[in-house]
Amino acid sequence: MRITMIGSGYVGLVSGTCFADFGHEVVCVDKDPSKIEALKAGRMPIYEPGLEALVADNVRQGRLSFTTDLAPAVANADAVFIAVGTPSRRGDGFADLSYVFAAAREIAQALTGYTVIVTKSTVPVGTGDEVERIVREARPDAEFAVVSNPEFLREGAAIEDFKRPDRIVIGTDDDRAVEAMNKVYRPLYLNQAPILVTGRRTAELTKYAANAFLATKITFINEIADLCEQVGANVQEVARGIGLDNRIGSKFLHAGPGYGGSCFPKDTLALVKTAQDAGTPVRLVETVVSVNDQRKRAMARKVVTACGGSVRGKTVAILGLTFKPNTDDMRDAPSLSIITGLQDGGARIVAYDPEGMDQARLVLSDVSYAEDAYACAEGADALVIVTEWNAFRALDLDRLGAVMATPILVDLRNVYSREDVERHGLRYTGIGVVPGLG
């Protein structure tokens, strides 16, 4: 099939490339000329393991191309995917749909035959209705269907998630559109990926509900971690104890500094606003949002406590800046709140991240950057693990202790055990563990 992807950011680029790898003919469109030129030259706008090689292979095979010219790409397409950004709107937290609606207007002008218009962007309930209205108003003669097909990609594992999905959700009541979407995803039949065909509004809400539930699991175990510290329990063992229950599951039960990234923060806010507007507030999700925001700020206080109650004039080394490993995404990363809190307390910050430092420089000020973990720790009064990159899982603790001014390790991801760290002469602070239980 001929597929056009409007938006060549994270979702659009990964989805378009994977569709091309399935054998479809894909054109990725973006308004940013510099991004398109970079993609044509083989330079990726994001870091995602395996993406650069996959893009290069499909470009070489002639199945994947990039352009700023939307009209011919849409005119020749069987399916047009809208994969533009839907950031939180300032003021009320609702999803900013201006890019989605602008794309819909441009698509409308370029339609030539029956076309399936697919919202891949994460959008609130009813957005597909508005997209359909916009296109119908602009082109009453056009043959088209609007489908919701939310993405469920994890940054750092997006290619694997796309090719081996837990499920594919298709929201439409148009039989012709269902047939077209089945053709789009036919290469996944061999993997027996479940395809759930629902109403369009149901598909839109499914995406938000999924992310809100996962954010709730994270926030739940983080609050249990705080309780563990007060009552002398071990949150890792608690998480294992409840995660072995098949009704609960072990995923997203890892205590840490709070969730961040491009999805959970904005999607939980958007769901809260949607529910409030509908007169059925989701109190649980409202609390999740509030608790998570407070938690990220509380992590700075945890570091201060580990340093004896003050970080004024001290050097704090930060390992990991991105919101999770295997990405360069700094959006709503816990490190931002932690570093700001420590700087407010008078600390000097030195940081290292395997992939995120270029993006961090755009959003952080007065931070020094190191070339590796050991250079980061040199002369530091405390070392804080914020993101659990694999490169931080087997550090030479003796070497760290030797180069630090004060051998304090604050492990906000519970990468190490207290016993291990203290055996090497460092003082340890973890999440949800107390002395003797780490």
The tokens for 117 are: 């218009």
Give the H/E segment covering residue 410: strand 408-411
The tokens for 22 are: 């399935």
User: What is the DSSP secondary structure assignment for residue 350, as one 8-state letter?
Assistant: E
Q: Which of 28, 263, 307, 376 is catalytic?
A: 263
Residue 428: exposed, middle, or buried by beta-carbon count in 10 A (0-12, 13-18, 19+)?
buried
> Cβ contacts of residue 340 below 8 Å, gap of 6+?
300
> Cβ contacts of residue 98 below 8 Å, gap of 6+?
none
44/30 Cα distance (integer angstroms): 13
263 is catalytic: yes
The tokens for 218 are: 């994270």
Number of helical H runs and strand E runs in the chain: 17, 14
407/164 Cα distance (integer angstroms): 44
Place of tokens 């973006």: 30
Of residues 346, 340, 344, the one with CA closest to residue 386: 340
Residues noted as catalytic: 263
